[in-house]
C-alpha cells in the first residue's frame, strides 16, 4: 500500500487504503484496518455518505489525527 502525504494547514494528512474491520450499523461508525497506521482508524458514516459499509469492504481515505486517535475522512469505496 502506498501512502501519499499532503499538508493541510498545520496537519499532515495521509491518503491510505484499508478494509472495514468493524462496523456498527446502529451507531453508524466503525474501524478500518490499514497498514498505514499503527492502530485501527475510526470512521463515521457522515464521512462516507451513501449506503452503510460492511466488514471487509475495501476503501480509500484520508487520516486525520483527532483528539481520541486517528480518524478517517473523505472515505471512498474502492
Residue whose entry in the numeric block shows the C-alpha cell 471487509:
56
Residue 77: pLDDT above 50?
Answer: yes
- pLDDT attached to residue 2: 37
DSSP β-ladder status, 69-77 and 29-33: unpaired
Reported as a single tens digit per residue, the pLDDT across 6-51 is: 445 556 555 799 999 999 999 999 999 998 778 899 999 998 878 8
How many angstroms separate the CA atoms of 64 and 50, rounded? 21
pTM equals 0.78
Amino acid at each position: 500500500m502506498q501512502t501519499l502525504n499532503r499538508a493541510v494547514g498545520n496537519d499532515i494528512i495521509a491518503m491510505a487504503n484499508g478494509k472495514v474491520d468493524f462496523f456498527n450499523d446502529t451507531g453508524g461508525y466503525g474501524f478500518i484496518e490499514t497498514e498505514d497506521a499503527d492502530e485501527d482508524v475510526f470512521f463515521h458514516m457522515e464521512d462516507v455518505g451513501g449506503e452503510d459499509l460492511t466488514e471487509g469492504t475495501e476503501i480509500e481515505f484520508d487520516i486525520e489525527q483527532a483528539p481520541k486517535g486517528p480518524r478517517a475522512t473523505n472515505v471512498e469505496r474502492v
